[in-house]
Each structure stands twice: as structure tokens, then as C-alpha cells.
Amino acid sequence: MRNLLKDRCLIHYLFFDRYCPPCLAAVRIFQFLDPHQHCEWIPIQDAWLHMDKFPYLSSRNAAHELHMFTNQGVVLHGFYAFRRLLLAVPASFLPAIVLYLPYADRVGVPLYNAISKSRLKHISFKNS
């Protein structure tokens, strides 16, 4: 069973800003809540150095919002990536269900964007 869990096709790749303290805190929390390691966290700064591995990030503003490459080959960003992340982590399954209710994105997208925009005051712009 353990080998099946480590199969790369079961892993979601998440891209985050390593210079953002709130982002780093969220990554640590989700790593703790994901004991089977269904998610692999990659700093966007490292991904930009290896664009041949991550071509789907080339036209996206990945430093401003969470990006996820799902185990099914779909690229999600912002609220939709966060919602899928909650679904992937067993401890956050119930909150994820709420975010999948009809019209949840009408509240979730603006809320995610406001939080994402407010995090900029925590960044020292080492990545610019």
C-alpha cells in the first residue's frame, strides 16, 4: 500500500512563493495535515529555473496565487487550487465539501483574491 501512495501519479504538485511568510506557514500546516504526502510543494522560484519541467506556468502569474498541477494533469490556480488542495488532504475534507457547494466560488474567489493581495505586505520582494 505504501508504494502505491508514493506512485507519482497520485501526487499533486503545488507551487508557492518561498519569500512569502504567510505562504510558508500555510505550506507547513498542509504538510503536517498530509501524512501520506499526496502533495508536493515546489517554490515557484525553483520552477521558473526549470521551465522545461513546468511549461504550464510560463504564461501565469504564479507568484501571486497558489498554482496546482493535479494528478489528473489539470492546472488550477487561486481559489480553485486551494479548494482542490483541501479535498486532497484528509484532515480538511469537510471544509472542502462546503467549498464545492453551488455558488461557493462567488464568495470564495473574491475572498481568496483579497487574502492573496493582502499578503503582498509580508513579502520583502527578494523574488523580483
Specify the higher pLDDT residue, 9 or 52.
Answer: 52
Q: Is the pTM of this model over 0.85?
A: no
- Say if residues 66 and 16 touch (Cβ distance below 8 Å): yes
> Domain 2-122, what fold?
Glutaredoxin (3.40.30)
Q: Which residue matches cell numbers 483541501?
A: 86
66/23 Cα distance (integer angstroms): 9
94 or 48, higher pLDDT: 94
Share of the chain above pLDDT 90, in %: 38
Torsion of CA 8, 77, 86, 43, to 10 degrees: 60
Contact 85, 29 (CB under 8 A): no
Q: What is the mean pLDDT of residues 41-69?
A: 81
Question: Residue 30 contacts by C-beta under 8 Å, 6 or more apart in sequence?
Answer: 39, 41, 85, 89
- Name the residue ranges covered by the structural domains of the chain: 2-122
In the predicted model, is pLDDT for residue 127 greater than 80? no
